[in-house]
Amino acid sequence: MSDNIFEMKTKNPVEFKKYVKLGITILALILLLVILLGSLFIVKQGEYKVVRQFGEVVRIEKDPGLYMKAPFIQSVTVMPNKKMVYDMDQQEINTLDKKRIIIDNYAVWYITDPTQLINNAKTVANAEARMGEFIFSIIRAELGSMEYEQIINDEATSRTSLNERVTDTVNELLELNNYGAQVSDVRIKRTDLPDDNEKSVYQRMISERDSKAQEYLSKGDAEKNRIIAQTDRQVTEMISTAEAEAAEIRSEGEQEAAQIYNESFEKDADFYRLYRTLQSYEKTIDGKTTIVIPHDSPYAKILLGYFE
């Protein structure tokens, strides 16, 4: 034969059957693997796995781990098994004194019964929407019974008590409607005024604060004047008492001095006269004084050194 011509050989039927069996086995293994993988699912921390069959909930797995389901006829959906924050849209309400305010609040909530939530709310989004309606309705009723000044004043509103009342009432409504959810906390983040009346309210608040400041200043001035008057009266009383005591002491000193003079005069009359004469000199004579006296006068005698 020529080198370009190959000899065609017929394959052995036994070998052909062996290849067919191998292919079927591989396909069976692949199908079995697909079925096995379709039957397994994993539950992670912080989530529910809801197993449904023909749209109905057959069971719920919440503990982390590996689980199985019937392939093809059962499906698995995920729902959160942890606390979630639902941030609601801003809403406008009217206060008792007819002020329009905008409230912005949020709620912390979690799923307690996934089956009830699916049967009655269908989805988590629907459950949040219904919960938001409950919260807004309750807050509108609560704040609608208050005046604006009470709402913005934390002490006057007892904001903590308000949050607790709203939370309790929302949970009652959720339980009544079998939504399988519970709210752990409802908070009002802020309360704002609409732009059209915000300026007028601020001006009124400023005016009230100015009036209050003037009241405090008036009370302060009155108290200052009272303290000054009381102090002046006390000072006057103290000065009067001191002057009276000083006059009494001077009087006692003058009496004592007069007594000493009298005693001295009785002991030596001549010395006393000399002493008194010298005192008179001290008061009447200085460097510019000119005195004309008789030579036999007491002054002349003393000045000239004549003593009796």
Are 60 and 144 in the same domain? Answer: no
DSSP 242-307: HHHHHHHHHHHHHHHHHHHHHHHHHH-HHHHHHHHHHHHHHHH--TT------TTSHHHHHHHT--
pTM above 0.85, yes or no: no
Supply 221's token pair. 């001035």
User: 259 lies in which domain range?
Assistant: 215-267
Q: Give CA 66 to chain center in angstroms.
A: 48
* Rounded CA separation 114/181 (Å): 8
- The H-or-E segment that residue 154 falls in is helix 154-157
Residue-level pLDDT, tens digit, the chain, 308 residues: 445 444 445 556 667 677 777 777 778 777 777 766 667 788 888 888 888 888 788 888 888 888 878 777 878 888 898 999 999 888 888 888 877 888 888 999 999 998 889 888 888 999 999 999 999 999 888 888 887 777 776 554 555 678 888 899 999 999 999 999 999 998 888 777 766 666 666 777 788 888 888 889 988 988 999 999 999 999 999 999 998 889 889 888 888 888 887 777 777 777 777 777 777 777 776 667 676 777 677 667 766 666 55
Work out the number of other CB atoms within 10 angstroms of the CB of residue 105.
22
Q: How many CA atoms lie within 13 A of 197 on its CB side?
A: 11
131 and 180: one domain? yes
How many structural domains comprise the chain?
Answer: 4
179 in Cβ contact with 120 (< 8 Å): yes
Q: Residue 115 belongs to a domain with what CATH number? A: 3.30.479.30
State whether 182 and 224 are in the same domain: no
Cβ–Cβ contacts within 10 Å for residue 90, how many?
Answer: 11
- On whether residue 204 sits in a domain, the answer given is no
State how beta strands 181-192 and 100-111 pair.
antiparallel
Residues 119 and 156 in one domain: yes
Q: Which residues contact 266 (CB under 8 A, 6 or more apart)?
A: none
**Nearest CA among 108, 80, 105 for reference residue 171:** 108
Give Dmax (Cα) for the chain. Answer: 199
